[in-house]
Amino acid sequence: MNDYFGLGLVAPRLTPVLDPAFRPAVLANRAWRELARQSGSPVPVAFALEQADGSVFHYRTEILPATHPRAAGNLPYLERLAKSLLWLWGGFRLHFQGPPELATALQKHYDTHPAGKFDSEVIGRRIYDRPIEVVAVAELPPARANTAPLGRHLDGCRIGFDLGGSDRKVAAVIDGRVVFSEETVWDPIRQSDPEYHFAGIMDSLRLAAAHLPRVDAIGGSAAGVYVNNRVKVASLFRAIPPAVFQSRVRDLFLEVQRAWGGLPFEVVNDGEVTALAGSMSLGANGVLGIALGTSMAGGYVTPEGNITSWLNEVAFMAIDYAPGAAIDEWSGDAGCGVQYFSQQAVGRLLAVAGLPVDPALGLPDKLKQVQAAMAAGDYRAAKIYATIGTWLGYALAHYAEFYDFRHLLILGRVTSGPGGDLLLAGAREVLAAEFPELAARIEFHIPDEKDKRHGQAIAAASLPRLHP
């Protein structure tokens, strides 16, 4: 229960009511670093994550000396850390400054372990066009970060859209004023024909265009990784065969742009737009945005008000190291955030909570029934939200080891209604009890119900800059 392949685990002070086996990643990592210091001879190690645009990001830590009786835990500690860095920051090459045998073991993980091979395929080959490579080095390459302003352009007549796994949202905006917003139910994740996606997107855009005198620009957000409006990885297109993905989906948004006459068009990860929406509404920077919906999305606006070339795919970051932690059905890895902060989390907690819901229902309808039960005062529904809230508190402390943020914006259907209030209260309670320094620093921001449902589409409208 308190061991992850030799890495010591720590029971949380506050136990999730429906998940007593939960073992937070942040507590295990902090305890391991403290154990290394207590050994009297901690071994400094460092990662440098290299990206295709030349960006290089550093992360330094300490591990046990090889002679320590618990040194076997060094590898799982570094592997879980590398996974976090890869999914949050991105990169195809991991420069490793430390014992060379650990670099060799990490490379073997990405070459042979199913979860490691998934990371190498998706992050390496599909995003950066090459497999993940671990290189032992004596000195790290110099750090270099490429950042750029994001959005905040509201002049003219614009359309903003947000593509979720259960609905798509669209807004028509004139000089920063919303004149129309709508959402439409759809089911893209199970569709193998990309024409379904194209037709749905075009339908929403036409719906918004009918409320504008003209269309000057279109901005959009969706779960996944997008580079220059090209689809690299996206759960919305998960059911599409690889060959069809390459021939049609990869340039789907360029096709949409052509259909609208080549006007200014930008599509980015929905988490980035979550963070942008928070930064714009707050008039503040240093914002971490998290959307708890069909899946889980994250985005980050730096203290300077820019975005980085980071992936911010918090859905795949492991926040639970417990043996028997929930398995993500896509990556095959355990303890990933998507199973804790999405409709999937609600769905898998139903049986544990003892809340009777028709198992034949889809996850969106199951969530609606849990929300209705919560509104009616059902204690079983309250346990579901309380559990997610406790998970979230420990996850936020984990994110704070990688992000410099002062403002946390929470969006998504899972946070709607009174259950969302209970969820956030649970997260705040964890921070106050276990991480008081973070509790004093981080401000929580929860948009009102209208903003929760349409805020991302509105912020997305601000993404493109109009042509001179």
pLDDT tens across 386-410, in order?
999 999 999 999 999 999 999 999 8
Predicted confidence at residue 1, as pLDDT, reads 61
Is 453 a residue whose pLDDT tops 80?
A: no
pLDDT-based confidence at residue 274 (cuts at 50, 70, 90): confident
Between 52 and 66, name the one with better pLDDT. Answer: 66
Same fold, 148-272 and 278-456: yes
Is 276 a residue whose pLDDT tops 70?
A: yes
**Average predicted confidence (pLDDT) for the chain:** 93
- Per residue, what are the HEC states of the chain? CCEECCEECCCCCCCCCCCCCCCEHHHHHHHHHHHHHHCCCCEEEEEEEECCCCCEEEEEEEECCCCCCCHHHHHHHHHHHHHHHHHHCCCCEEEEECCHHHHHHHHHHHHHCHHHHHHHHHHHHHHHCCCCEEEECCCCCCCECCCEECCCCCCCEEEEEEECCCEEEEEEEECCEEEEEEEEECCCCCCCCHHHHHHHHHHHHHHHHCCCCCCCEEEEEECCEEECCEEEECHHHCCCCHHHHHHHHCCHHHHHHHHCCCCCEEEEEHHHHHHHHHHHHHCCCCEEEEEECCCEEEEEECCCCEECCCCCCHHHCECECCCCCCECCCCCCECEHHHCCCHHHHHHHHHHHCCCCCCCCCHHHHHHHHHHHHHCCCHHHHHHHHHHHHHHHHHHHHHCCCCCCCEEEEECHHHCCHHHHHHHHHHHHHHHHHCHHHHHHCEEECCCHHHHHHHHHHHHHCCCCCCC
Work out the average pLDDT over 277-300.
88
pLDDT-based confidence at residue 449 (cuts at 50, 70, 90): low
Is 468 a residue whose pLDDT tops 80?
A: no
Work out the average pLDDT over 40-54.
95
Superfamily of domain 278-456: ATPase, nucleotide binding domain (3.30.420.40)
Q: Where are the domains of the chain?
A: 39-136, 148-272, 278-456
CATH C-level class of 148-272 = alpha beta
pLDDT-based confidence at residue 330 (cuts at 50, 70, 90): confident
pLDDT tens across 88-143, in order?
999 999 999 999 999 999 999 999 999 999 999 999 999 998 999 999 999 999 99
Predicted confidence at residue 249, as pLDDT, reads 95
Is 450 a residue whose pLDDT tops 80?
A: no
Is 455 a residue whose pLDDT tops 80?
A: no
pLDDT-based confidence at residue 367 (cuts at 50, 70, 90): very high
Q: What is the pTM of this model?
A: 0.88
Is 463 a residue whose pLDDT tops 80?
A: yes
Work out the average pLDDT over 342-348.
95
Work out the average pLDDT over 191-217.
97
Work out the average pLDDT over 247-274.
93
Work out the average pLDDT over 273-295.
88
Is 176 a residue whose pLDDT tops 90?
A: no
Predicted confidence at residue 271, as pLDDT, reads 81
Is 309 a residue whose pLDDT tops 80?
A: no
Predicted confidence at residue 307, as pLDDT, reads 78
Q: What percent of the chain has pLDDT over 70?
A: 97
Predicted confidence at residue 130, as pLDDT, reads 92
Work out the average pLDDT over 195-200.
97
Is 293 a residue whose pLDDT tops 80?
A: yes
